[in-house]
Amino acid sequence: MNYERKDERDAKGVVERALQISLDHFDTHGGVDYRSSDGSVALEVTRVTDGRKRAGRSALAKSESASDEPPLASCWLMFVPATHGSMKNLERRIREILPELEMAGIRDFDRGAVQLQILERRPKWQLLERIYRTGIESLWASPHPDDPEHVHELILSTTWDGSIGGSNESLQNLLEELDSKTDNVKKMTESRANTRVLFVWIDGDTPYEIQRPLAAEPPRGLESLFGPPALVPALDPAITHLWVVHEVSRLGWFWDGSEWMALEGV
């Protein structure tokens, strides 16, 4: 017997609203996760993430829950070069600065963009310099709908070389990951539904080269690079519709079989 998971229910709600249909939990003994009552629509929910990192982080969050860190007003994503020496220490230092950043109304930090601001001692330069000196690449506030049980946190992602690939590259990497999840295609094929929807959650532990365009609003001037992909995705014929949504930022893309749509506040 398989029970419905929270992220499955969440995805189901998104698809129901978008397609204006109603779906029932179907995967009680294998098969796709949801189906419409007439069987014409099937939905499978999956996740592309680094499972080990995710498990480690939730253990860490548990052990630190009794600490007296001041609460945050939103979740933050932090990107750090994979070559950075002291991740653990770094996370603690940034976590200490975040409440000050929120008070100062700063929503993002980008290493390349703040250099001039610091050199010219423009407003808030001292705060920015403290972050700059930690060696991180960038930092983004990710506002999202509030859930009373949720505690905002700092999510760390490592970047391989600091280069920024656009949405097309991110999509290619995602599709490669999906190719290895053969179970999805198998269940979709067996569903015999006309509309076969794959919903992919990504999160703060998803490899940087996949999550980057959806992790936060695009930096100014890079909107075109980070818009929805411009490629026709090479999907298995078992998948007719594809959703990709970042669980923290709630930004996403939707492929309806003929074009891409950008989604916000999913």
Contact yes or no for 139/131 (Cβ under 8 A): yes
> Quick one: 75 or 185, whose CB is closer to Zn ion?
75
Strand, helix or coil for residue 223: coil
Contact yes or no for 228/260 (Cβ under 8 A): yes
- Least distance between Zn ion and beta carbon 75 (Å): 3
- Least distance between Zn ion and beta carbon 259 (Å): 31
C-alpha distances in angstroms, 103 versus 99, 109, 121, 139?
A: 6, 14, 19, 15
Name the segment binding Zn ion (CB under 5 A); options: 90-98, 110-118, 149-157, 170-178: 149-157
> Quick one: 141 or 200, whose CB is closer to Zn ion?
141
CA–CA dist 142, 216 (Å, integer):
6
Q: Which residue's beta carbon is nearest to the bound Zn ion?
A: 75
Half-sphere exposure of residue 49: CA atoms within 13 angstroms, side-chain side: 21
- Least distance between Zn ion and beta carbon 74 (Å): 6
Q: Site for Zn ion (CB under 5 A): which residue of 11, 14, 75, 114?
A: 75
Contact yes or no for 235/184 (Cβ under 8 A): no
- Least distance between Zn ion and beta carbon 154 (Å): 10
Contact yes or no for 266/251 (Cβ under 8 A): yes
Token pair listed for 68: 């007296």
CA–CA dist 10, 261 (Å, integer):
19
Name the segment binding Zn ion (CB under 5 A); options: 61-69, 73-81, 125-133, 188-196: 73-81
Number of H helices, E strands in the chain: 8, 11
Query: Binding of Zn ion at residue 95 (CB under 5 A)?
Result: no
- Least distance between Zn ion and beta carbon 10 (Å): 14
Token pair listed for 151: 């505690």
Name the segment binding Zn ion (CB under 5 A); options: 74-82, 114-122, 201-209, 214-222: 74-82
- Least distance between Zn ion and beta carbon 98 (Å): 12
Touching Zn ion, residues 171-210 (CB under 5 A): none
> Quick one: 75 or 263, whose CB is closer to Zn ion?
75
- Least distance between Zn ion and beta carbon 91 (Å): 16
C-alpha distances in angstroms, 195 versus 21, 179, 191?
A: 12, 20, 10
Strand, helix or coil for residue 218: coil
> Quick one: 114 or 155, whose CB is closer to Zn ion?
155
Q: Site for Zn ion (CB under 5 A): which residue of 152, 187, 212, 241?
A: 152
Binding site for Zn ion (CB under 5 A): 75, 152
